[in-house]
Amino acid sequence: MKRLLSLVILIFLVSLLIGCNGVVPPPPEEPEEPSQETLQLIIDYTDQLKVSRWGNGTVLVKENSYTQEIWEEINQIIDGPVVFKMTSGSDAQIEVVTLDIGQDGFFFVGFSNYDNFQFNSCVIYMNPAYENLEKNIYVAAILMACGINEDKAKEGLTNNMKTALYWLYRLEPGTFLL
């Protein structure tokens, strides 16, 4: 009888160990909707009450040795419906060009086509006097090309910036933020 009881207990313990092995709780899910704080963050970072951004899909960016790494990082942050892809073709929607814009300016971002809260084309004019400056000048210019206002773009890729960018590109263009 003792043997039988020991065998039953042993089988029970082994089944518990096998049953627990490999049971992993699922990772916490990302919220489907941004919080009010996140919506306010987007407003603060874009100066817009409606979502204005590049439309879903691939956005072609003219190849540039200074900016490729930054665009790759932006793609990782957005992780979603918009992908910025480098191209050497003339069909680029975003291009970095040099233009003497005076001694006071590092860069200027100009959107030449904007429709239904979606950007269609953009040129980033870099002052040749500052062309070899630190990466953060290019980061700021690219953030502006993504829809971030100039003052916030100068902060660089902070955690708040990453949150604002991520959620900006999760919401549809034209979405009211209040």
Question: Would residue 160 count as lying in a domain?
Answer: yes
| C-beta neighbour count of 73 within 10 angstroms | 14
Check pLDDT > 70 for residue 82. yes
Question: The domain spanning residue 104 has which CATH number?
Answer: 3.40.390
Once rounded to an integer, what is the mean pLDDT over residues 149-160? 93
Q: How high is the pLDDT of residue 7?
A: 55
Instruction: Write down the mean pLDDT value for the chain.
Output: 83
Residue 139 lies in a domain: yes
pTM: 0.77
Q: With respect to residue 161, please indicate whether it lies within any of the assigned structural domains.
A: yes
- pLDDT given at position 8: 56
* Cβ-proximal residues to 103 (8 Å cutoff; 6+ apart), any chain: 129
> Is 30 part of any domain?
no
pLDDT at res. 169:
97
Q: Is the Cβ–Cβ distance between 84 and 57 less than 8 Å?
A: no
pLDDT of residue 134 exceeding 70, the answer is no
Q: How many CB atoms lie within 10 A of CB 150?
A: 14
Place of tokens 């001694």: 103
pLDDT tens digits for 28-76? 555 688 999 999 999 999 999 999 999 999 999 998 878 899 999 999 9
Q: Which of 19-28, 59-68, 146-155 has the lowest mean pLDDT?
A: 19-28
Mean pLDDT for the stretch of residues 89-103: 82
Please indicate, yes or no, if residue 144 is contained in any of the structural domains. Answer: yes
Number of helices (H), then strands (E), belonging to the chain: the values are 6, 6
Q: What is the mean pLDDT of residues 16-26?
A: 52
Residue 9 CA, chain-centre distance (Å), reads 55
Residue 78 lies in a domain: yes
Residue 103 lies in a domain: yes
Residue showing tokens 């665009």: 71
Identify the band that residue 163 occupies on the pLDDT scale cut at 50, 70 and 90.
very high
- Structural domain harbouring 46: 36-168
Percent of the chain with pLDDT over 70: 74
Q: Is position 3 within any domain?
A: no
Tell me what pLDDT residue 24 has. 47
Question: How many domains are contained in the chain?
Answer: 1
What percent of the chain lies above the pLDDT cut of 90?
52
- Mean pLDDT score, 117-124: 91
Distance CA 83, CA 73 (A): 11
Residue of higher predicted confidence among 6 and 78: 78
> pLDDT at position 32, please?
82
